[in-house]
Amino acid sequence: MRNLSEANITEAVIQTFEGTPDERLKEIMASLVKHLHAFVREVNLTEDEWLAGIQFLTATGQLCDDRRQEFILLSDTLGVTTLKDIINNRKPPGATEYTILGPFHRTNAPELPFNADLAEDMQGEPVFVKGRVLGPNGDPIAHATLDVWQSDAEGHYDLQMPDLQGTALRAVFRADTDGQFAFRTIKPSFYPIPYDGPVGQMLIATQRHPYRPAHIHFIVSADGYRSVTTELFAEGDPYLDSDAVFGVRGSLIVPFVRHESAREAAQFNLSTPFYTVDYNFVLEPT
């Protein structure tokens, strides 16, 4: 400890964790120090850069409260959240892929019947969403639950609408005995993540945009199966290849098929033009 050098300081710090009773904490602290030191060495971190980093992390923490979590946003925009999600949600081939939960899920969504309108009287292009919830062999999962939430046509969630009483564009649906579900809604829009804080400054400095491609969020669950948190992305969205939080998976991009026929629209109780989305969720047994 008295003759520390660039060559031996990392090992000296790691050794201070030797007496940690919690083995997992010991492993994490040793690895964190190993990688942090490697980073400082690799970039030859200067005094000013070290201070700028401290100030950035301080500002990130100062912006956090019970409505805003800038550290999660930082994790999301650096791909750490998605890497953690991929590691913790490995799926067998064919099972619907997991993707980011995001900050707009709420547990108080109303339960709506089959075919109900998620959007009620909100403005937007009408969409009819239907599909089935299936097991790995294509067998229907009766009475699976679909927790659904999305933005409006301007990219705002109900939590971002200060004049709104209650909830909007979120509901829980239940599949029928054949695993089928259906609901009406409006087409969601792409939207920016909050970029008025340190994360936004990072995006600007690195010439990245803050947008997420349009999507509908789902948590699909059923007894005896692992529930999946996922999103369906609108095919053709301009941000599919540059999602600010790295949430897109190829298997989750679906066509929003446009229809012009008034006769078809009447059949779905929608106005023209309208879109249809058809997607089967596949769950893995527990």
Give every CB contact of residue 151 below 8 A, 6+ residues apart in sequence.
104, 157, 169, 188, 189, 191, 214
- Please pick, among 217, 239, 259, 275, the residue that the annotation labels catalytic: 217
To Fe ion, the closest distance from the beta carbon of 232 in angstroms equals 11
**Residue 98 falls in the annotated catalytic set:** no
* CB 227 within 8 Å of CB 248: no
Site residues for Fe ion, 95-124, by CB under 5 A, read 102
CA torsion, ordered 234, 235, 241, 246, to nearest 10 deg: 30
Q: Which residue is nearest to Fe ion (CB)?
A: 102
Residue matched to tokens 């945009």: 209
**Residue 211 falls in the annotated catalytic set:** no
Does 200 contact Fe ion by CB under 5 A? Answer: no
* CB 252 within 8 Å of CB 97: yes
To Fe ion, the closest distance from the beta carbon of 18 in angstroms equals 44
Binding mask 52-91 for Fe ion (x = CB under 5 A): ----------------------------------------
- Please pick, among 132, 170, 184, 215, the residue that the annotation labels catalytic: 215
To Fe ion, the closest distance from the beta carbon of 94 in angstroms equals 25
* CB 50 within 8 Å of CB 37: no
- Please pick, among 132, 170, 184, 212, the residue that the annotation labels catalytic: 212
Q: In terms of CB distance, is 100 or 144 closer to Fe ion? A: 100
**Residue 35 falls in the annotated catalytic set:** no
Q: How far apart are CA 169 and CA 185, in angstroms?
A: 8
Closest C-alpha to 254, from 272, 273, 281? 281
Q: In terms of CB distance, is 102 or 126 closer to Fe ion? A: 102
In a 3-state reduction of DSSP, which class is residue 244?
coil
Q: In terms of CB distance, is 102 or 200 closer to Fe ion? A: 102
Closest C-alpha to 148, from 177, 126, 168? 168
**Residue 209 falls in the annotated catalytic set:** no
- Please pick, among 98, 157, 195, 211, the residue that the annotation labels catalytic: 157
**Residue 215 falls in the annotated catalytic set:** yes
Contact positions vs Fe ion (CB under 5 A):
102
Catalytic residues: 157, 191, 212, 215, 217
